[in-house]
């Protein structure tokens, strides 16, 4: 292996790990108003549901996309049993980035998944690191494995 291959691999890794300064783009919808928001592996979301996130909400920059599945199990405060999917931009900076967590309370529950790359809150929600996958592909290409 020559030095040119090492240089190429290093430059590719640098490009992969450089973060964009532009706002993230996420799917923005609520299945209570638009059934297309439900989406599943066989029914991909429409591109017209993708929206660029605002730069900030107050002093917090939008840095991630969210997919929230909400279930109301029985009538509470006039809300009938229901389930919905909400896809939106997010700005939380906590241990839940690129992960899912569940919350429950009186009459309902929700699962919230957060991810940090463009349009990652679509139907086939994945939390695999794009950078990790790209790095492995590059290493395979330059025969380090």
User: What integer pLDDT is reported at residue 19 of this predicted model?
Assistant: 43
Whether 120 and 130 have beta carbons less than 8 Å apart is answered as no
pLDDT tens-digit profile of 95-118? 777 889 999 988 889 999 999 899
Inside any domain, residue 10? no
User: What integer pLDDT is reported at residue 16 of this predicted model?
Assistant: 43
pLDDT, greater one: 139 or 128: 139
- Tell me: pLDDT of 33 over 80: yes
Inside any domain, residue 79? yes
Inside any domain, residue 68? yes
User: What integer pLDDT is reported at residue 21 of this predicted model?
Assistant: 42
- Domain assignment of residue 48, given as a range: 22-129
pLDDT tens-digit profile of 44-75? 788 899 999 998 888 888 889 999 999 989 88
Whether 145 and 137 have beta carbons less than 8 Å apart is answered as no
User: What's the domain count of the chain?
Assistant: 1
The average confidence (pLDDT) of the chain is 76
User: What integer pLDDT is reported at residue 107 of this predicted model?
Assistant: 82
User: What integer pLDDT is reported at residue 42 of this predicted model?
Assistant: 57
Inside any domain, residue 106? yes
List the CATH number of the domain containing 52: 2.10.60.10
For 38, what's the count of Cα atoms within 13 Å in the CB-facing half-sphere?
A: 10
Distance separating alpha carbons of residues 68 and 84, to the nearest angstrom: 8
Inside any domain, residue 45? yes
């Amino acid at each position: 292996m020559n030095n040119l291959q090492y240089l190429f691999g290093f430059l590719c890794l640098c490009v992969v790990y450089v973060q964009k300064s532009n706002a993230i783009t996420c799917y923005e919808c609520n299945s209570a108003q638009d059934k297309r928001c439900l989406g599943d592996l066989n029914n991909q979301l429409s591109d017209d549901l993708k929206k660029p996130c605002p730069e900030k909400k107050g002093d917090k920059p939008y840095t991630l996309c969210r997919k929230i599945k909400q279930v109301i199990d029985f009538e509470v405060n006039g809300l009938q049993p229901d389930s919905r999917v909400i896809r939106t931009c997010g700005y939380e900076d906590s241990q839940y980035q690129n992960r899912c967590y569940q919350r429950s309370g009186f009459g309902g529950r929700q699962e919230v998944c957060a991810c940090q790359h463009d349009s990652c809150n679509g139907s086939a929600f994945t939390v695999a690191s794009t950078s990790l996958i790209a790095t492995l592909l590059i290493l395979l290409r330059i025969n380090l494995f």
